[in-house]
Amino acid sequence: MESRRYYERSLVRSILAGMAIGIGGCVFIGCSLPKYNVPWVGSILFAVGLCSVFMFGFDLYTGKVGYAVNNKIDYIPYVLVVILGNFIGAMILGYIAPVNIAEFSSTLFSGKLEDIDYLRVLFKGILCGILMYIAVDYYKREKKFLAAMLCVP
């Protein structure tokens, strides 16, 4: 019974984390539109989403998966609950976002997906995960947002 409650609470924290990061993503996309064209502002504001995950103790996959190697095998179901919750939270935000993110995204990224190098995308994703882990671990140890503000933008 206790483990069920643990996973339920983790799912709620994960959904909220997905929504917080989703808000950061919406802001980044909005700042990157040709109308504004200030992606660096979007990057900094996206970091605020990560800082909110830290402040409120939400469960974010990129912050949890790095600790998988230091934990027992029973940590894996927890990480799976976290990634599911993050996905649900991002989807909820995508549906309630006041702008049509899909339309803006297609305008923003049109022509960029034609000659995509999947290996390069995978490598960048892994590096992004490492940077997120560094930011999370630094906050966990020091209780400061410095790494989030340096690793995210």
Structural domains in the chain plus CATH codes: 2-151 (1.20.1080.10)
pLDDT at 105: 64
Kindly report whether the global pTM for this prediction surpasses the value 0.75: yes
How many Cβ atoms are within 10 Å of 122's Cβ, its own excluded? 10
Task: Write the DSSP assignment of 18-52 as a string of letters.
Answer: HHHHHHHHHHHHHHHSTTT--HHHHHHHHHHHHHH
Sequential pLDDT tens for the chain (153 residues): 468 899 999 999 999 999 999 888 888 887 877 778 888 888 888 888 888 998 999 999 988 888 888 889 989 999 999 999 999 999 998 888 766 666 666 666 666 667 778 899 899 988 888 888 888 888 888 988 888 887 776
Q: Which residue has the tokens 């930011």?
A: 135
Q: Which two tokens stand for residue 150?
A: 């340096």
